């Protein structure tokens, strides 16, 4: 649940690129060097899935959406934007569950 202002901040849909244009293991694009020691230089270019997720400000669970401060369940229950926390809908008379 994201407000209209934060809709622009959301990530784009990934479309597959041709192999050579986005590949890091080619020598032409400056991605891989010849006779390079991968044990020394490979660590910085790897994706670390555990260090990049934030925590929800309400329930302290991990938030997978980039730039969000609230998880999807808490944003739904409170009726707020998951990224900025702005009130989107009034949930006073709603009977909501997160099951």
pLDDT at 47: 57
Question: Is the pLDDT at 49 greater than 70, yes or no?
Answer: no
Alpha carbon distance 36, 49 (integer Å):
25
pLDDT of residue 12: 64
Enter the DSSP assignment of 62: E
Location of structure tokens 């938030």: 63
3-class state of residue 80 by DSSP: strand
Contact at 8 Å (CB) between 3 and 88? yes
Out of 11-15, 25-29, 57-61, the most confident range is 57-61
Would you kindly state where each structural domain of the chain is located, as residue ranges? 52-90
pLDDT band at 51 (very low <50, low <70, confident <90, very high): low
Question: Cα(49)–Cα(22) distance, rounded to whole angstroms?
Answer: 20
Residue 4 has a pLDDT of 87
In the predicted model, what is the mean pLDDT of residues 71-99?
A: 87
Choose from 6-15, 31-40, 58-67 the range with maximum mean pLDDT.
58-67
């Amino acid at each position: 649940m994201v407000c209209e202002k934060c809709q622009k901040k959301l990530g784009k849909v990934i479309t597959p690129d041709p192999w050579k244009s986005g590949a890091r293991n080619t020598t032409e694009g400056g991605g891989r060097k010849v006779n390079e020691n991968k044990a020394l230089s490979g660590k910085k270019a790897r994706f670390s899935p555990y260090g990049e997720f934030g925590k929800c400000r309400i329930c302290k669970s991990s938030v997978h959406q980039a730039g969000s401060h609230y998880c999807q369940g808490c944003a739904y229950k409170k009726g707020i934007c998951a990224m900025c926390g702005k009130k989107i809908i009034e949930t006073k008379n709603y009977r909501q569950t997160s099951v």
